[in-house]
Structure 1
Amino acid sequence: MSESNEDQQTAKKQKKQVNFKLSSFILMLVGIVVITAVIAVFATIAISHWASGLNSEQRTSVKKIEQAYKTLDKEYYKPTNSKKLSDAAIKGMVTKLHDPYSEYMTKEQTKSFNEDVSGDFVGIGAEMQKKHNTIQITSPMKDSPAEKAGIKPKDVVTKVDGKSVKGKPLEDVVKKVRGKKGTNVTLTVERDGQSHDIKIKRDTIHVKSVEYKKHGKVGVFTINKFQSGTSAELKSQIIKAHKQGVKNIVLDLRNNPGGLLNEAVKMANIFIDKNKTVVSLEKGKHTESIKAPNDALKEAKDMNVAILVNKGSASSSEVFTGAMKDYHKAKVYGTTTFGKGIVQTTKEFKDGSLLKYTELKWLTPHKHYIHGKGIKPNVEIKEPAYQSLTVIPNNTTYQLNDDNKNVKSIKIGLQALGYNVDNKTTKFDSELQQAVKSFQEKNNLSTTGKFDKTTNDKFTQQLVQKANKDESVLDKVIKQLK
């Protein structure tokens, strides 16, 4: 009987031990699961943070933007448009960069941007940028409606069709300037402190990036823009010129606003040997040298090269010119270039919108940074005086005995058009009055001898036409090559 009690007590004790061990095991499993879950959560957060590429401060800022977005989207007293809110947030960030070359574009604006790069669009043919809160012309494209109407590099656009563009985003101004083929748009521009209205007829702009003409024994290649295929076009035309026995060539980059950097590199590679640095890109302390990937074109090796530039030669035009000048592959003629030493890149979003932003600055192979300074030519050849005239306001009538700086511009312009004006003073004298009468009579205008709005408009039109045909600067370059 006593033995039986002992056996029962032993059995109970063993059962308790088993129960205790089982509960401890379950608790341990629960603990492992909890710890694993916690580790997984923190690991996920850590991986997420790492993948985002943001530091702690940046993540806090983005969180704040997200909270503001959610609050306005859900709690604003009127219905909101989620896409417009997000677009506005991105535009706000870009605006705060104070960079005329960075911008956010909607799907529709991205289409226009891609058309520019491909070389076909409807508009006036003028490259624009936003600088110091103003809309500025980088350069009008050669033979474009803008150039024919008298638009010049660094003109400041103040109005489009009479409406101020002050404070407007660049993309909004571009949208107003573009329109249907055959319609007109009037730009009010400021040049050297003078304001002038310029009426332009929109047209399909097909930018043929390379044009080749023979001037005697000299081959002239007019390069209008660095777009997809430009380097291939130039290479083909140089081979053609070489077969014709051409040894001296002029690469005319006047009013070339630039374009694709890779095309500038490939174009330089036509003349610059393999593995030579064409351009250096800098971002903070990091520097990358972009080298010529192929052997130089054999047909170009024995050619004497001249490059012709002016203040409208910008961006990729300067990358190419800088490399050619540094390696003494060409002599540069003309006037100092625009001075754009920074590079933009783009990021396209799933909805078709695009962010264009400045990513790098660039230097020539010999480490010259030309931003804001431009490239000075080896040989300066200034444009004729009439091509550099300030705009003469067409809301003022000038007449006998007036004394004004614009009177001097009238004299220079009329002399360029072939009228008898010998002195270049600011006084509206009898000689100028007679020249104005002769101009009015020849153009079927009222012969008053007063330089009024109608006379001014015809005068400006004829000067622009003359400038488009004037090859005096090019002729001086060709003369030096012969």
Structure 2
Amino acid sequence: MKYSKLVIAVIITAIISSGITFNLVQQRETIALNDEDPFSKLKSTYSILEKNYYKEIDQETLVEGAIKGMVDSLDDPYSVYMDVEEAKSFNENVSSSFEGIGAEIQENNGQIIVVSPIKGSPAEEVGLKPKDVILKVDDQSIDGYSVTEAVMLIRGEKGSKVNLVINRAGVGELDFSIVRDTIPIETVYSEVIEKNIGKIQITKFSETTGEELTNALNELRKKEVSGLVIDLRQNPGGLLNQAIGMSDLFLEKGKNILQVENNLGEKEVYNDENDLVLDLPITVLIDEGTASAGEIMAAALNQSAGIPLVGATTFGKGTVQTAKSFDDQSSVKYTTAKWLTPDGSWIHEKGIEPTVKVELPEYANLPFINPDNVLKQGDTNTEVDSAQKMLSALGYSDIPLNGTFDETTEEVVKQFQKDEELPVDGQITKQTTITLIQRIQEKLKENDTQLKKAIEVLKEGM
């Protein structure tokens, strides 16, 4: 009898369970697809949702989502669909000034990484570095975000503040508080150093960069410089046509600038078409922030003109993108080809090795100290460690280098504050932090080991 009741209970449970399943998932219907139309499944899915979804749906949202999904499925960090706002932001970055922190970023395996901060930008001033991984923007995780989605969060009005949490290889997580500013349109900076040596820094390749470079060269010619250092460090790239036209100024006519290989393996060779060539000894500075168009120019000058490269291995971006706009002002940016150096090498994800490898001083890579934080006696963290190393680099040799803010550290901080005519309280915060960072930046400029080596190499060829 007990056995029969058990069987009945099991049967009843099975029937109830079956009924619940039937109520949640109705009987499947097979939809016929048109084998001759590759978009048949997409159209059918749209039609099904439009007619049967339990909530009212927005047609534009579905279409935008489908396009984004299509582009995202390429699994290419440089191909992206941009809605109207995102496209506006992208176009500003290429052609004019904009307000933000001034850092070129890209998506890589679901992470947003810094390619390079722009010269003179808030991102450079606080110490963002190439290959830093951005984890959070104002406490919001951006894991899985596209580049354009991340940019929309990071950008903002001049004077407003954004907080970033980044992960730096070999260091760990770091917090950055950055005040947004206007990022200027100027991309070429020139000066005379070492009496008769010209230096030109190119910070990116925008629509006006070629013209700026020509003007800078003309100014240096008037000053009768006898050698030239071209600084491509921290240059995230930009427009291909600018890289080609600018390389043209330094190569003999007919020399190869680069090769572009399409999806069929067909190669188009771009050769120098300029009859005139700058007749000066030249060296080029590169580093891990030199990317894309910056790498094109560096490789062209090195391989086709024998110009030495000084510094560190470049970023490694060897693909070409183009952007197409729709009449609603949205756009799609997509990869069209590989680019190869004059000797046929593809430097993608490998970078270009310098002719002469030179690292910057250790203090050039110290983690950022947030001026809003208060470092005081008893604290132990990476910011204390960074501050101690900065003070040591500035000549305060008595300070311990252990990441612990002890009595000795406090005394050294008080001495630094006295020397800088700051309020003396033995704590590192606000103006003390800002002054400490400024002094380190000034010291690095005075002791730019890469630039010094480039000048040395240049003089050997003069």
Question: Which one has the bigger helix percentage?
Answer: 1
Say yes or no: TM over 0.5.
yes
Residue 22 of structure 2 is matched in structure 1 by none
- Once the two structures are superposed, the pairs formed by residues 38-187 of structure 1 within 5 Å of their partners are 60-187=37-164
How far 1:80 sits from its partner (Å)? Answer: 1.6
Q: Does 1:248 align with 2:224?
A: no
Cα offsets for 1:95-128 (capped at 9, x unmatched): 2222221111012211111111113111111111
Residue 345 of structure 1 is matched in structure 2 by 322
Cα offsets for 1:255-279 (capped at 9, x unmatched): 1100001111111111123333211
Q: Quickly say closer, same or farther: Cα 1:227–1:97, change in 2 above 3 A.
A: same
- SS in structure 2 of the partner of residue 286 of structure 1: coil
Cα offsets for 1:225-272 (capped at 9, x unmatched): 111132232123223322332220011111110000111111111112
Residue 283 of structure 2 is matched in structure 1 by 306
Equivalent residues, number: 421
How far 1:415 sits from its partner (Å)? Answer: 1.7
Counterpart contact for 1:195–1:391, Cα < 8 Å: no
Residue 16 of structure 2 is matched in structure 1 by none
- SS in structure 1 of the partner of residue 266 of structure 2: strand
- Counterpart of 2:200 in structure 1: which amino acid? F
Residue 303 of structure 2 is matched in structure 1 by 326
Q: Does 1:219 align with 2:195?
A: no
How far 1:405 sits from its partner (Å)? Answer: 7.8
How far 1:424 sits from its partner (Å)? Answer: 5.7
- Rounded Cα–Cα distance in structure 1 between residues aligned with 2:444 and 2:330: 37
Counterpart contact for 2:187–2:205, Cα < 8 Å: yes
Q: Quickly say closer, same or farther: Cα 1:163–1:468, change in 2 above 3 A.
A: farther
Residue 292 of structure 1 is matched in structure 2 by 271
- SS in structure 1 of the partner of residue 143 of structure 2: coil
- Rounded Cα–Cα distance in structure 2 between residues aligned with 1:465 and 1:137: 20
% identical aligned pairs: 38
Residue 268 of structure 1 is matched in structure 2 by 247
- Rounded Cα–Cα distance in structure 2 between residues aligned with 1:401 and 1:270: 55
- Counterpart of 1:81 in structure 2: which amino acid? D
- Rounded Cα–Cα distance in structure 1 between residues aligned with 2:35 and 2:233: 44
Residue 472 of structure 1 is matched in structure 2 by 448
Compute the RMSD of aligned alpha carbons.
3.0
Cα offsets for 1:50-109 (capped at 9, x unmatched): xxxxxx999644211121122223332222221111111111122222222111101221
Q: Does 1:210 align with 2:188?
A: yes
Residue 26 of structure 2 is matched in structure 1 by none
Q: Quickly say closer, same or farther: Cα 1:200–1:400, change in 2 above 3 A.
A: closer
How far 1:465 sits from its partner (Å)? Answer: 4.0
- SS in structure 1 of the partner of residue 212 of structure 2: helix
- SS in structure 2 of the partner of residue 327 of structure 1: helix
**Which is further off, 165-174 or 283-292?**
283-292
- SS in structure 1 of the partner of residue 57 of structure 2: coil
**Which is further off, 237-246 or 374-383?**
237-246
Cα offsets for 1:322-379 (capped at 9, x unmatched): 1111123411111111111111122222322111112211110101221111111111
- SS in structure 2 of the partner of residue 250 of structure 1: strand
Which structure: larger Rg? 1
- Counterpart of 1:472 in structure 2: which amino acid? D
How far 1:213 sits from its partner (Å)? Answer: 0.8
- SS in structure 2 of the partner of residue 86 of structure 1: helix
- Counterpart of 1:210 in structure 2: which amino acid? V
- SS in structure 2 of the partner of residue 435 of structure 1: helix
- Once the two structures are superposed, the pairs formed by residues 3-22 of structure 1 within 5 Å of their partners are none
Counterpart contact for 1:420–1:435, Cα < 8 Å: no
Counterpart contact for 1:440–1:455, Cα < 8 Å: no
How far 1:436 sits from its partner (Å)? Answer: 3.7
**Which is further off, 238-247 or 98-107?**
238-247
Cα offsets for 1:403-434 (capped at 9, x unmatched): x8877644432122332248767787876554
- Counterpart of 2:185 in structure 1: which amino acid? V
Residue 3 of structure 2 is matched in structure 1 by none
Unaligned runs of 5+ in 2: 1-32
Q: Quickly say closer, same or farther: Cα 1:430–1:179, change in 2 above 3 A.
A: closer
- Rounded Cα–Cα distance in structure 1 between residues aligned with 2:34 and 2:197: 61
How far 1:457 sits from its partner (Å)? Answer: 4.7
**Which is further off, 405-414 or 171-180?**
405-414
Q: Does 1:316 align with 2:293?
A: yes
- Counterpart of 2:176 in structure 1: which amino acid? I
- Counterpart of 1:103 in structure 2: which amino acid? V
| TM-score, normalization by structure 1 | 0.79
| TM-score, normalization by structure 2 | 0.82
Q: Quickly say closer, same or farther: Cα 1:240–1:78, change in 2 above 3 A.
A: same
Cα offsets for 1:187-244 (capped at 9, x unmatched): 2222234222222222221231211111110111110111113223212322332233
Residue 382 of structure 1 is matched in structure 2 by 359
Q: Does 1:435 align with 2:431?
A: no
Q: Does 1:194 align with 2:158?
A: no
Q: Quickly say closer, same or farther: Cα 1:371–1:426, change in 2 above 3 A.
A: same
Q: Quickly say closer, same or farther: Cα 1:321–1:200, change in 2 above 3 A.
A: same
Counterpart contact for 1:385–1:412, Cα < 8 Å: no
**Which is further off, 433-442 or 237-246?**
433-442
- SS in structure 1 of the partner of residue 305 of structure 2: coil
